[in-house]
Structure 1
Amino acid sequence: MILELIKSRRSVFPAQYNDQKITKEEILNILEAANWAPTHKRTEPWRFKVFHGEAQIELGKFLAETYKETTENYSEFTFNKLTNNPVKAGCVLAICMQRDTNGILPEWEEVAATAMAVQNMWLTAHELKIGAYWSSPGIIKFMNKMIQMEEGEQCLGFLYLGKYDGALPEGTRKSTIEEKTTWI
């Protein structure tokens, strides 16, 4: 049942990933799920840049060096994390959004559609026993220096993907849906 899949999905971080490879077929399956997200006016604003294999090393170097060049509060821990996390992952997807160049739709609708595409990917990855984690460090605003982006396209973060061992923890919510719902 889809509700059980939704309720059991968790963030799985790069430190939890094992060395099992993610295949191109698995990545394509996850991306195909993204393409079926709801989208107003059928703009399909989601765009993805796939870092797989050697490209993950380059991504880590770029993120760490960009962080070092642009931060006011440098941390060696953060530098190392930005260097190593892409390599620990089986694959990293840059989550990008292509704005409607005619400006017909409000930006929030395009962001929401892209987020729904990510949710589809996350649930598909979970079903495939692939862990996922959406990271949105401040340095995403510099991604156009590393990857080709179209006019109006922006990076919203990274979806780290990796296979993992063991069970995921139980989920909790701070309150019930009844406490967050008003019937009118």
Structure 2
Amino acid sequence: MNSIDQNIIERRSIKKFKVDAIEVEEIIELLNVAKWAPNHKVNEPWRFQLYTGAGKEKFVQAFLEAMKTADGETPAKAFNKADYFRSIPLHLVVIMPEDPRQRRWDEDYGAISSMLQNFQLAAWERGIGMIWRSNDWIYNPVFREALGVKPGEKIVATMMIGYPAHIPAKQERTDIREKLMIISE
């Protein structure tokens, strides 16, 4: 098995991170590698917000505001999640324009998804783990506004990034032969 195959098979979504900092410049390097994903018309339909150090608190506060109930209360479990978010070294919010033309929207989403997979694989090769989150709160107008996400933009992911404190076991996948139809005539 070659190293690319092995990296694809061994990459895991990481939920438990060490507190060790990751240099912002390293994330920039990884994104500069990842940007070579297939991208129709090379329109690069992405922008990023990286939250690190004290800047993570803006991300956490946006999350807490989005979690408030109709009566203005924040559930206790949201505070627990906020503490967890504070412990993660980096948060990368990935944003794309929502083109009203379905084909362009699909192409852009495919490009950004490919770019994010490249990013994860390149980071994994360097010992950096992450999880791609697309929880309900990324659609909450309060969260979006707090982060400066404009109308006509979509948060594709919040990537939580750090050195893995725990690497989950591999979960088996279905043999592709069970999902493949071969048409030869």
Q: TM-score normalised by the shorter chain: which range applies?
A: 0.7 to 0.9
Q: Partners of 1:2 and 1:175 in 2: how far apart?
A: 20
Q: What is residue 170 of structure 2 aligned with on the other side?
A: 171
Equivalent position SS for 1:50: strand
Q: Partners of 1:22 and 1:120 in 2: how far apart?
A: 18
Q: Partners of 2:70 and 2:23 in 1: how far apart?
A: 34
Q: What percent identity do the matched residue pairs reach?
A: 28
Q: What is residue 116 of structure 2 aligned with on the other side?
A: 118
Q: What is residue 56 of structure 1 aligned with on the other side?
A: 56
Equivalent position SS for 2:18: coil
Spell out the pairing of 1:17-166 with structure 2 (5 A cutoff).
17-69=17-69, 75-81=75-81, 83-100=82-99, 103=101, 105-141=103-139, 142=141, 143-149=143-149, 152-165=152-165
Contact map agreement 1:46 1:117 (CA 8 A) in 2: no
Q: Partners of 1:70 and 1:131 in 2: how far apart?
A: 36
When normalised by structure 1's length, the TM-score is: 0.85
Contact map agreement 2:62 2:147 (CA 8 A) in 1: no
1:70/1:63 CA distance change after superposition, 3 Å: farther
Structure 1: runs of 5+ lacking an equivalent? none
The residue type paired with residue 67 of structure 1 is M
- Cα deviation, residue 176, structure 1: 0.4
- Cα deviation, residue 126, structure 1: 0.8
Q: What is the count of residue pairs matched by the alignment?
A: 179
Equivalent position SS for 2:91: strand
Equivalent position SS for 2:147: coil
Equivalent position SS for 2:37: coil
Structure 2: runs of 5+ lacking an equivalent? none
1:63/1:157 CA distance change after superposition, 3 Å: same
1:137/1:165 CA distance change after superposition, 3 Å: closer
- Cα deviation, residue 98, structure 1: 2.0
Q: Partners of 2:90 and 2:124 in 1: how far apart?
A: 14
1:21/1:116 CA distance change after superposition, 3 Å: same
When normalised by structure 2's length, the TM-score is: 0.85
Q: What is residue 5 of structure 1 aligned with on the other side?
A: 7
Q: Partners of 1:60 and 1:49 in 2: how far apart?
A: 14
Q: Which moved more, 1:92-101 or 1:117-126?
A: 92-101
Equivalent position SS for 1:155: strand
Q: Once superposed, what is the RMSD of the aligned Cα atoms?
A: 2.5
The residue type paired with residue 177 of structure 2 is E
Contact map agreement 1:22 1:162 (CA 8 A) in 2: yes
Q: Which moved more, 1:139-148 or 1:45-54?
A: 139-148
